Structures are given as structure tokens and as C-alpha cells.
Amino acid sequence: MRRDSEPRNPLRIEIVTIFPAFFDGFLRHGVVARAVERGQVVVGVHDLRSYTHDAHRTVDDRPFGGGEGMVLKPEPIGEALDALGVRPRTERAGESRETVILLAAQGRPFTQATARQLAALERVVLLCGRYEGIDERIRELYCDREISIGDYVLSGGELAAAVVADATIRLVPGVLGNAASTAFESFGEDDASIETDENGVPRSQHGAGGLLDYPHFTRPAEFRGLRVPEALVSGDHQAVRRWRREQQLATTLRNRPELLEEATLSDEDEQTLERLRCSGKRVG
């Protein structure tokens, strides 16, 4: 088993799709493009139609039992996975090197915690569903999990695959310029062991600890009659820290109150939440 201190191979993300050109722009811009260019991540996009054997390159067929829409056939997907060296999941039982994911509306919700799990693997294979879905036998034979990016239905899994890949790639060690930045953002980890920065200065923010992020401001200090909150320009690290924590709690309480049930909260946090609930007002 690889130890954390040992160098790791680049994360490989394999995407199986009937629309490979969809990912051209995704791979040419931003964090993803830089990670690929540096060799920190390898992304392969595989055209499902390349694994068909008829003149029309057919990847779908009508469902048994009738019904609306079409279903992706098992043979092309199976051949694509064979070409990638993916074994049936029963043969991979107990291994943590790779995972095969079906992007589907009926999947479990995708979260930052899931992205962290995927970033620690060596290979992630993403199957992009389309039409009414894929033949169930592919899911049963190969898929370790099904993932949905929200409670809505997309035309296909390509958008979802891009979301999962982006959220995962940015968590690969070394991809972001500031490694600590992933702790200090929405859904980030707590800050139990990072009370000061590398210079011993008290941090001006909390790790998210599962909460939403706080509001951000930059220059100018006044814009169209609205000023930056006084705490942020005070020069007092603890005042900044307190203000940002209050904002994290207020934003989470307002927009995603269910996250508070699993968040890492101190006694002071609980007191702040009680005050916010009683006042019914946004802290600002």
C-alpha cells in the first residue's frame, strides 16, 4: 500500500461518451488544463461509437417490455471497458485503486466528500448515460457507484462527468497553487489543527468544517454606497475570523440548514446559531 509521503502516480480519469467533442473546451481551460499540462492528471475521452461494429455505429436500442425512449446497448460499453482494462467489479473487490462510476439521475448525490475520495484514487472511470439510461447489466457487472449532481434530469451524463472531474481534479495534491485553499471554502474540512498559518500568524478564517463559504470583498472599499464590513478592514485577525465564522453560519442557516446537522461546530458556533435563529436576521 502506498504511504502518504510516497510520490503518487497521476490520477487518471477516463470518460466514456457518445459526444467526445463535448469535452474539448473543458480540457483546454483553467485548473483542469493546467493539471493536465503539468502531468498531475491524465484525462482520456473515449468515443463509445468506436466500439460498435455496424455501418450506422449504433449504440442504443428499444427497451425490452416497451416504453418511451431508447437505452444504451451493453456491448459497446462492455467493449470500451475491456479496452480500458477494466475488470468486472467482483474481480476488483477489496481493491481501492480505481472506481467505475455511472452518471445517472437516480444516483446518490455528488458531494465534496465524494470528490475527496475520488481524488485519492489512481483511476476514475466515468460512464456518461444518455437517452433513458444504460442497460442494467453494465451497472451490475462494472459500476461501483451511481452519482447524480442534482435532483433534475439532464439530456446526458456529459455535463455531470465534467462536474465530477473538475471537482475531483482540483483536490489532487499540488493542482491548486495554495494547498490550504480547499479547506477554506464551501464544504471544506475543519481547522482543528490549523489555528495559525505557516508563519505562526493566527488565521483570519475558519476551515469550513462542512459549512458554506462566507462573503468576499475586494477593492474599492466603497462601491455604489455600500462599504466593506468594518471588521474586514480593522487589521484585527480575530475580529475578521469572528465575522467570517458568523457569516458562514448565517449563510448555511439561510441556504442549506441541513448541513448544520453534520458540521463541526464549537460551543461558540452553537451560541451564534441560537442568536441568528432568534433574531431571524442575516448577520452582516
pLDDT at 212 over 70: yes
Residues 187-202: pLDDT tens digits?
556 654 455 555 555 5
pLDDT at 80 over 90: yes
Mean pLDDT computed over 52-70:
94
Quick one: pLDDT at residue 7?
61
Q: pLDDT averaged over the chain?
A: 89
SS3 of residue 88 by DSSP: coil
Q: How far apart are CA 186 and CA 188, in angstroms?
A: 5
Are 216 and 241 in contact, with CB atoms under 8 Å apart? Answer: no
Contacts of 27 (CB under 8 A, 6+ apart): 33, 36, 43, 45
Residue 203: pLDDT band by 50, 70, 90 thresholds? Answer: low
Are 43 and 54 in contact, with CB atoms under 8 Å apart? Answer: no
Residues 3-37: pLDDT tens digits?
554 567 999 999 999 999 999 999 999 999 999 99
- For the chain, which domains are there? 11-169 (3.40.1280.10), 183-279 (1.10.1270.20)
Residues 219-251: pLDDT tens digits?
999 999 999 999 999 999 999 999 999 999 999
Residues 130-188: pLDDT tens digits?
988 999 999 999 999 999 999 999 999 999 999 999 999 999 999 997 655 655 556 55
pLDDT at 104 over 80: yes
Between 259 and 283, residue with greater pLDDT: 259
